[in-house]
Chain A
Amino acid sequence: MPHLTEDNLERARSLVALYPDKRSALIPILHLVQEQDGYVSPEGIHDAAELLGLTPAEVRGTASFYDMFHLEPVGKYVVAVCTNIACMLAGAYELLEHIEESLGTHPGGTTDDGAFTLEDAECLALCGNAPCVTVNWRYFGDMTPERWDSLAEDLRAGRLEGEVPPHGTLCRVRRSVGLVASGGAGAPASPVTAIDVTTSRTTPAAQSTVLPEGGGGS
């Protein structure tokens, strides 16, 4: 009896179909496991191994290499505070200290109520809006202790559920077609989920791109 839901199993099979070698679907499937369970559960590892003809040890061996895969349960919101050079110069360690005090936990720890897991992260590539944090991989730039306090309050009150999906949910847009170039069936891989991926509170990466006055273009 598989642990993955029928819908997720179907999604996993669609992923396998996209690659010449099915093991290539491993990382996407592990993201799927994390989306369903909130972490990469032993049962999910078992299902991934079954789907791909691998041993659970091989699956775990890959999963344990990657920072985004949590092999133990984590809080509802995983908060990653970038402390690499650009954010450090903008006060990231002071920010991290404030967040530690506000949550009562340290990097690697989870709050007692299970709401937040805190991480100190390497460069998250939003250096024009340093310091930055991500919450379940949604970006919040130009962070200050005060902005963090209001963000944490909004998260706790459930006011940002549209913008910050549960931990593990990565790409909410599903592929609309299978492989079609070889003249194959081209059946939809899975139903397209129409969502608005724009958000008001999160920080788009291009925000800090400074445009020349008067436009230009090619």
Chain B
Amino acid sequence: MTAGLRPQVVTSRFGMPESWTLRAYLQSDGYKGLRKALTMSPEEVHKATLDSSILGRGGAGFDAGRKWGMLRKAEPVYLVVNGDESEPATFKDHALIEADPHQLIEGALICAYAIHAARVFIYIRGEMALGLERVQAALNEAYEYGAVGADIFGSGFSVDIVVHPGAGAYICGDETALLESLEGKRGFPRIKPPNYPAAIGVYGAPTVVNNVETLSNLAFIMRNGSEAFHALGEGASRGTKVMALSGHVRRPGNYELVFADTTFRDLIFDPALGGGLRDDRELKFFIPGGASAPWFGPEHLDVPLANEKIAEAGSMAGSGAVTVMDVTACPVRSAWRLSRFFHRESCGQCTPCREGSGWVDKVMRRLEDGNGRESDLDLLMDICDNISPGVHWPPAQTTICPLGPSIPSSVAWGIRMFRDDFLEHVRLGHCPFPPDRLRTSLAHA
């Protein structure tokens, strides 16, 4: 397919002048989805969302309409928007927040109406200063316009939205950690059961936590109907997905693609998409769905971009982050860097994660530096097995949240796919890939 035929559900305003303003939004169907929703009953809006089959776009891929239907019958109910995007190489919510904040606000209002939310909290990653400013400015405009607040558009429906900044912690992307953070505490994930947000969420009340991209789809679904949305994609994966492409490709960036229409090969090599690898180098491997996802090799290029297809092939679509490595990329260094990330971001509650991430970080670093030994490979697999018994995918859970069991993905798949590269570091006593060693900076890390 050609790029010009790609339907745009959530990125249609990208590139418009001042796309983040109410004026630009109203010139391009802005708030028509909300107006439509308000002519329906909340139950009808919920049903339309169910019929669209939209899956959550945050990483777990849970059916959004079903999530809303699981709310414990109690009042008040809250909606919390998860805008804490921090998964390595994921940058699609960041773009949606900055470029089209009204679309996010409209989606949040549609959801709030359907679930009878008493208040909406938009939790935005603290580092996204411009995003916070754009959303707050858009919210001020939306209040003025009558789209949020009391008696919205004269419908009798009222709800307030509060923009809430995070303060720098990957773990707060986990929905229960995010709720702790919203309550003014350290971002410690909560134990599930019983703390499923639909039952016991923020302030102990039933709560829906939805991702930015998920909610950004709702205005389209309301305007065009659930059938128009469901017609895109196939199987369980409906609508579009914003794929965040990074690494050794000519054209890194966000690409909105219809689910299941394209493959990893299209995304990476199509001249209108990734444009192939820089300097026409050969592909060595790629990470299909963020730091927690098992790696893929060139043999997986024809896997379609659909949640269940990627799962069948042994990894996950996750947040839609695809990172591409050519033959100059060192798999040891890549796996070490992701281990270091988990070590730094572990909240420290659970032993397998807190201790395991540190051990993996240290052993991987010594291998990359050329100070490792052959037995380190078995040692690493043993640590991984202690973090997540069996080291398979999907991983066995030994911890409160999925961060711990995500640690083995890069390390174990790195060893399984590139054992010779690991051993070469030991034989040579240094990294064989350019640049030949990590520099002075890390001595202080």
Contact = CB atoms under 8 A, between A and B. Distances in A.
Interface of A: 18-21, 23-28, 30-31, 52, 61-62, 65-69, 80, 83-86, 88-89, 93-94, 96-97, 100, 106-109, 120, 122-130, 134, 136-139, 170-177, 179-183, 186, 192, 195, 197-199, 202, 204-206, 208-214, 216-218
**Chain A binding site: helix, strand, loop or mixed by DSSP?**
loop
Interface stretch (B178-186, B309-317, B381-389, B413-421): B178-186
21 contacts: A24-B184, A31-B165, A66-B166, A85-B323, A86-B88, A89-B325, A96-B439, A96-B441, A100-B441, A122-B170, A179-B119, A181-B119, A181-B149, A205-B99, A209-B15, A209-B95, A209-B254, A212-B8, A213-B3, A216-B7, A218-B7
A62 B347 CA distance: 12
B88 A181 contact: no
B414 to A, nearest CB: 12
A20 B186 contact: no
Contacts of A171: 129, 132-133, 136, 163, 165
Contact of B160 (A96, A176, A181): A181
A137 B223 contact: no
Given A86-B89, A176-B140, A218-B220, 19 more contacts: A62-B185, A65-B347, A66-B126, A66-B187, A69-B168, A85-B291, A85-B323, A120-B445, A124-B127, A125-B91, A125-B127, A127-B246, A137-B128, A173-B133, A174-B136, A176-B143, A181-B159, A202-B130, A208-B254
Nearest to A96: B441
Contacts, number: 285
B11 to A, nearest CB: 6
B167 A66 contact: yes
A119 B7 CA distance: 40
B359 interface: no
Contacts of B86: 122-123, 125
B435 A94 contact: yes
B253 interface: yes
B143 A177 contact: yes
> Which of B11, B129, B134, B291 counts the most A-chain CB atoms under 10 A from its CB?
B129
B272 A107 contact: no
B41 interface: no
Contact of A123 (B90, B185, B247): B90
A214 B184 CA distance: 46
B315 to A, nearest CB: 16
B81 interface: no
Contacts of A172: 133
Contacts of A137: 126-129
Contacts of B321: 127
A205 B4 contact: no
